[in-house]
Amino acid sequence: MTYQSKRRSERLIASIVVAFILCWFPHHLFNILDIISIQIELSNEEMSLALDEIVGRGVYISGALVFISSCINPLLYAFAARRFQNHLRFAKISKLFEQMSQTVTEEDKKKSLVVTKQEDTLVSTENL
């Protein structure tokens, strides 16, 4: 592994870890606040209700961030591995064109056989 590819790998791993922490931290924070709210419910009801309200609103935000977390990783991989993606894309495109050309030639052969048979049939009926 070259120095440059090692640095890229380190940056990719660091960005994945940072994205994971940023997306999942609010979820865990609101879970902890919910547990605290339940624990202090009997001793400080007013604070418990305030925390419940905060948790109720925060659950939607943290849920969206958790969902976004699962969407961010493929994007990070796609942008971090551009060279690999470009190589893979060109390889797939070339295979696609090869398959298409094979399919087209096979279809052309079938069509030409059908046309030839139709012409033969027409010629034979004209000769009668």
Per-residue pLDDT tens over the stretch 54-75? 999 999 999 999 999 888 888 8
**What's the pLDDT tens digit per position in 18-55?**
999 999 999 999 999 999 999 998 899 899 999 999 99
In whole angstroms, give the CA distance from residue 128 to residue 117: 17
Give the percent of the chain with pLDDT over 90: 35
Quick check: 12 pLDDT over 70?
yes
Residue 68 CB contacts under 8 Å (≥ 6 apart), including other chains:
23
Q: List the domain boundaries for the chain.
A: 1-80, 82-128
Both tokens of residue 128?
């009668």
* pTM as predicted: 0.57
Is residue 90 pLDDT above 60, yes or no? no
**Token digits of residue 101:** 């050309």
CB 76 within 8 A of CB 12: yes
Residues 102-122: b if buried by 16+ CB within 10 A, e if exposed:
eeeeeeeeeeeeeeeeeeeee
